[in-house]
Amino acid sequence: MPVIPAQKLITLQKNPANIRNFCLLAHVDHGKTTLADNLLASNGIISSKLAGTVRYLDSREDEMERGITMKSSAISLFFQLVNKNTTNTPEEYLINLIDSPGHVDFSSEVSTASRLCDGALVLVDAVEGVCSQTIAVLRQAWDERIKTVLVINKVDRLITELKLTAREAHTHLVRLVEQINAVMGSFFAGERMSLASDTSVEDAFDEKDDADIYFAPEKGNVIIASAVDGWAFRVDQFAALYEQKLGIKRALLNKVLWGDFYLDPKTKKVLSQKQLKGRNLKPMFVQFVLDNIWAVYDACLLNRNQEKIEKIIHALGLKVLPRDIKSKDYAGLVKTMMHGWLPLSSAILLSVVAYLPSPLAGQHARLPQLFDAQSHKQVSQQIKQSMLACDCAESQPTVCYVSKMVAVPRTDLPQNQRRQLTADEMREAARVRREGGDTSGTSTPAQQEEQVTEETPPESDDVLIGFSRIYSGTIKTGDTLYVYGPKYDPSKPEKHMAKVVIEQLYLIMGRELIKLDAVPAGNVFGIAGLEGKVLKNGTLCSVNPGINLAGVSMSSAPIVRIALEPENPTDLPKLMEGLRLLNQADPCVEVHLQETGEHVILTAGELHLERCLRDLRERFAKCGVQASAPIVPFRETAVDRDLRQLGKDKRRGTVTTLVADVIQMTLRTRPLPENVTQFLLDKTAAIKQLQLSQAGILNAEQAAELEDDDVEVDTAYTATEFHDALQQAFDEAEDDGDWTGVVDQICAFGPRRIGPNLLLDASGTLKRIFTDLSESKLSQNPEDKESFTTRDFEDYLVTGFQLAMNHGPLCAEPVQGMLVCVEHFAINVAEGEEDAFRSRLSQLYGQLISSVRDTIKRGFLEWSPRLMLAMYSCDVQASMDVLGKVYGVISKRRGKIRAEEMKEGTPFFTIRATLPVVESFGFSDYIRKQTSGAASPQLIFIGYEILDEDPFWVPTTEDEIEEFGAKGDREVVAKRYMDSVRRRKGLFKETKITKGAEKQRTLKR
């Protein structure tokens, strides 16, 4: 097919009813990019014979080296459909395709791609089946309310690798569709449960039908395919083919070709399973569909039969050259025959056009849920109506969503590329050169040097382009729009808002950009001119206040931290500029400048880290960059165990301190119940909303600091509802502690005022969150301004608590699941010493903060302290041959096997394990090396887990001393982790000093 001219695509942008915006979603290596290559070949962009090997949308060098997609890419395609039922006039469609990565490290790219689309193709490997990322992308599509079509890809593997018969393959495919529908059903059930438990919508809750959420081949939303061989089909294609031959209506055939239906060869009637009565008939799907496909593979690959090949070609009416038939490239012949019979691009694009919604229908279905959010109550009706209707009239407000910023080489921009000259222009240029030849070399070297020095400083080699979708109105080059950040609130339109002038608009064609003058609603496109205005994502709107569409949740939180510095100190400005560009160009990476002056980046995983470092060195900073060893976060907590033989002392953790001989305080530290800690972790957003909404809890500076925090605000809970829910969590605690009335005593959460630790006031003198204390109770004598009260020191006491929770006693990591209670706080100033006391108040404030911090740490250590490790869930799919090696590698890295399942009909096992993040570096490469590439893990951060080992353990009992010796020769893993963090942070660490450096030592220690 000839290449489609760009002007044709630009013209089609004006008809949103014939636009389809969809993305490809799948687990890693399930065939997304190969399928995209086949669709590109249908538009003449690449050769159909090279589809699957070119990987056109993988433009990065490391993508080509590894063979996996690392970023989402877009391209616009043309599709023409002749509707024979009405007229023979062809309908022309604009297909905006977005290819997304499948690796879990780049799941943020999936989030950015899905927000731009109205539909998605979900690919599933026919052999590997439903994997971890398959469920993740299905959840992403469900949350975004985008319509999906299931593509069961790599069906050729059932024939060539598993050697299944057509009947066995049918059973396997039916079971696979059932598994995927079970996942969809779990989403629906979970949503119904959350709605039913929500008292605010109890009266308005209606029973919803779940029939439209499932995949069923007879509905047209399931495609059977082999992207590598270039073929695909839907059931209705074969229904149309056999309609006249079998004399059965097409509508009926469409329903019975899939499933347990059989054709009686005598009566030509369709039989169900019950009507079969023991006869050995093939299911209709096997008889009329799979047997034919299996025959092609059998004749070409499994049992080569030249005569049978020619017979099949003749029967199907295929055009195959004699040289291809006689070629020794058997796989190439299969591809030629199957692509000619069941072309993949036709089946896919027909499904996209028929089943996935246009922007008109898609926005009308998806946006009402978005408008129901509390933050969008202030948005004007004009904006809402225009977006729902996908109105592209210039009089309507312009609303665009920028999902991410893409770094593009400046030389790739259309205005910077050389245009091909016509013959007349070339002759004219030659004539001008001949006529001006005498003057061309008249400028002296000094003049040339002067011209060079007067030029502007060199610009960056990369330009940031906004990857965008327009929801209403028409955007034009030169327009001035408001840009809203992710934290923009229409009720406070002056915050997180800026103005921007649109410099250029582009049609994104994979690696190529085509310049546009205007883009109407419903299209995906690129915007230049947002650099410095949009960090990672944002919303563009022509009116203020507008709407904020930029709240994208990242399913893969950055967890791996490294510190960076240039190899040459003079390159520090280059590194800083490179980090700025990287921060904008990568939707998941986080860049921080530490208080120590270190430049730190946080990435989602090891592969993501490699990509970021490569981008820094080769594209953005273009200088040598030194990276520290990966820094993994820990958490600190304590448990109520008598491992240190302290006994069941109810006063354990209670410490009394005297500060500067005038302030006496008693603080009690104790662990929180596990369910309460988990409740606080889950409700971080509600805690933030509680702090911001309750007047008087925070001063202006603290409130501003909390608003700038990355945690989103949850408005679902009122203060009373949160109080009751937290008290219920305490009442349900399984330990034997008395938690009655605890919630009423809460003064602060920590660390960062929103963490899973509590500061209580049992002395009745501090300001509480849930109790309105009268001024008389808070101050002993408010009229006497000369007297001192606990209110004067309250902020400093809370600051000490926040410091203690942010830097625990083990290795200065954040604390989790601890409660600190102020049992006594008194100020003892002798008569006549008020002036002296007042003169050293500033010094006393600092002493109080450090004393509170140290007192809490001492109380913490009276319990049994524990480190909490950041944990990955690890999913590995492997065959039985390498199962033992996989177990060995996971065990060596201190992982724990949680489950093992065998996939029915395949030789593959799915192993689910948990693995400490600190032990995960090099894990993927090591497991691939040990299994010769047969196993590849997917690592997803799932939170923190207690390492049940006391870092200060020493043998105490007779049995322990007998087994490990008086010095305890057993390695304490928790202590090793703790010491490594303390060493990195420059904290004190107990180490043995070698007395005799030359003395021979036989002990490892």
Domain membership flag for residue 250: no
> Cβ(618)–Cβ(461) under 8 Å?
no
The least confident of 165-169, 787-791, 917-921 is 787-791
SS3 408: strand
Residue 96 confidence (pLDDT): 94
The better pLDDT of the pair 424, 307 is held by 307
Asked if residue 337 and residue 288 are part of one domain, the reply reads yes
- pLDDT exceeds cutoff 60 at 457: no
Confidence of residue 228 (pLDDT cuts 50, 70, 90): very high
Whether 553 contacts 405, CB under 8 Å: no
Residue at a domain's end among 509, 535, 556: 556
Final residue before a domain boundary, out of 581, 611, 631: 631
Nearest-angstrom CA–CA distance, 549 and 395: 21
Residues 670 and 772 in one domain: yes
- Domain CATH for 917: 3.30.70.240
Mean pLDDT of 686-711: 65
* Selected residue with higher pLDDT from 469 and 843: 469
Contacts of 802 (CB under 8 A, 6+ apart): 748, 750, 751, 752, 753
- Amino acid 647: pLDDT: 46
The pLDDT-based confidence of 703 (bands split at 50, 70, 90) is: low
Asked if the structure places residue 1001 within a domain, the reply is: no
CA dist 391 and 472 (Å) reads: 5
SS3 539: strand
Phi, psi of 754 (to 5 degrees): -135, 15
95, pLDDT greater than 70: yes
* pLDDT of the residue at 419: 62
Q: What is the CA angle 760-763-768, rounded to 5? A: 45
Residue 530 shares a structural domain with residue 576: no
94, 19 contact by CB (below 8 A): yes
Q: Provide the pLDDT for residue 854.
A: 92
3-state SS string for 606-670: HHHHHHHHHHHHHHHCCCCEEECCCECCEEEEEECCCCCCCCCCCCCCEEEEEECCCEEEEEEEE
Residue 306 lies in a domain: yes
Q: How far apart are CA 229 and CA 159, in angstroms?
A: 13
Q: Are residues 658 and 616 in the same domain?
A: no
Rounded average pLDDT over 198-216: 63
Helix axes 719-731, 684-693, angle to 10 degrees: 130
DSSP 544: S
The answer to whether residues 384 and 512 belong to one domain is: yes
Are 529 and 406 part of one and the same domain? yes
Residues 308, 347, single domain; the answer is no
Q: Are strands 73-82 and 119-125 parallel, antiparallel or unpaired?
A: unpaired
pTM of the model: 0.81
Measured CA to CA, the distance from residue 935 to residue 896 in angstroms comes to 17
Q: Which of 313, 307, 528 is nearest to 406 (CA)?
A: 528
- pLDDT given for residue 123 in this prediction: 94
Asked which of 609, 631, 653 is the last residue of a domain, the reply is: 631
* Confidence tier at 701 by pLDDT (50, 70, 90): low
Q: CA-to-CA distance for 34 and 229, rounded, in angstroms? A: 10
Q: What's 791's DSSP letter?
A: G
Q: Let me know if residue 935 belongs to a domain.
A: yes
Distance separating alpha carbons of residues 933 and 928, to the nearest angstrom: 4
Q: Tokens in use for 98?
A: 């977005």
Residue 338 has pLDDT above 70, yes or no: yes
Tell me the percentage of the chain whose pLDDT exceeds 90.
30
Distance in angstroms (rounded) separating the CA atoms of residues 6 and 4: 6
Query: At 145, which amino acid appears?
Result: R
**Mean pLDDT confidence for 596-623:** 89
Tokens of 325: 């038939």
Same domain, yes or no, for 839 and 908?
no
Rounded Cα gap, residues 830 and 281, in angstroms? 102
Question: Residue 958: inside a domain, yes or no?
Answer: no
Q: Is the pLDDT at 10 greater than 80, yes or no?
A: yes
Q: Has residue 588 been placed in a domain?
A: yes
As a whole number of angstroms, the distance between CA 226 and CA 34 comes to 10
Q: Do 882 and 831 reside in the same domain of the chain?
A: no
Cα 973 off chain centre by: 32
pLDDT tens digits along 518-540: 999 999 999 998 888 888 888 89
pLDDT beyond 50 at 442: no
440 has pLDDT over 50: no
Task: For residue 48, give the CATH number of its domain.
Answer: 3.40.50.300
Mark whether 143 and 276 lie in a shared domain. no
pLDDT at 53 over 80: no
Greatest pairwise CA separation for the chain in angstroms: 116
Predicted local confidence at residue 443, as pLDDT:
45
Give CA–CA dist 919/503, Å, rounded.
Answer: 47
* Cα(33)–Cα(70) distance, integer angstroms: 11
DSSP secondary structure of 38-94: HHHHTTTSS-GGGTTTS-TT--SHHHHHHTS--S-EEEEEEEEEE-TTS-SPEEEEE
Calpha distance 475→480 (Å, rounded): 10
Q: Are 398 and 539 in contact (CB under 8 A)?
A: no
The pLDDT, as a whole number, for residue 936 is 83
User: If phi over 0 gives left and psi between -120 and 50 gives alpha, with beta otherwise, what is residue 405?
Assistant: beta
Average pLDDT of 194-222?
69
pLDDT at residue 645 above 80? no
Does 159 have pLDDT greater than 50? yes
pLDDT band at 476 (very low <50, low <70, confident <90, very high): very high
Quote the tokens at residue 286.
Answer: 């096997």
Answer whether residue 688 shows pLDDT above 50: yes
The first and second tokens of residue 49, run together, are 């014979």
Residue 410's CATH number: 2.40.30.10
Task: Summarize pLDDT for 550-590 with one digit per residue, the tens.
Answer: 764 555 678 889 999 999 999 999 999 999 989 888 888 88
pLDDT digits (tens, 9 = 90+) for 61-80: 777 777 778 788 899 999 98
**Residue pLDDT, tens place only, 741-788:** 888 889 889 888 888 999 998 887 778 887 753 343 444 444 444 456
C-beta of residue 126 within 8 angstroms of C-beta of residue 173? yes
Query: Residue 68 is encoded by which pair of tokens?
Result: 């996996």
Per-residue pLDDT at 173 exceeds 80: yes
Query: In 3D, which of 427, 643, 402 has the Cα closest to residue 535?
Result: 402
Q: Residue 590: helix, strand or coil by DSSP?
A: strand
Strands 560-566 and 599-603: antiparallel
Q: Is the pLDDT of residue 818 over 90?
A: yes
Query: Average pLDDT over the chain, rounded to whole?
Result: 82
* Phi and psi, residue 890, nearest 5°: -65, -40
Average pLDDT over every residue of 486-510: 83
Distance separating alpha carbons of residues 26 and 133, to the nearest angstrom: 7
Give 671's pLDDT tier (boundaries 50, 70, 90): very high
Write the DSSP string, 743-767: GGGEEEEESTTTSSEEEEESSS-S-
Whether residue 434 lies inside any domain: the answer is no
Strand 864-879 and strand 634-639: pairing?
antiparallel
Report the distance separating Cα 64 and Cα 56, nearest Å: 10
What pLDDT was estimated at residue 780?
Answer: 42
Residues 627 and 656 in one domain: no
697 and 844 both lie in a single domain? yes
Distance CA 25, CA 6 (A): 27
CATH number at residue 319: 3.90.1430.10
Q: Residue holding tokens 């050769």?
A: 47
Q: What pLDDT shows up at residue 706? A: 58
CB 103 within 8 A of CB 30: no
Assess contact for 635 and 867: CB atoms under 8 A. Answer: yes
- Rounded to 10 degrees, the C-alpha dihedral 906/909/910/915 comes to -160
- Say if CB 130 and CB 88 are below 8 A apart: no
Domain that holds residue 509: 366-416+460-556
* Each residue's pLDDT tens digit, 840-895: 777 888 888 999 999 999 999 989 999 999 999 999 988 888 999 999 999 999 99
Please report whether residue 237 resides in a domain: no
Model pLDDT for residues 780-797, shown as the tens digit of each residue: 444 444 456 667 788 888
Query: In total, how many domains does the chain have?
Result: 6
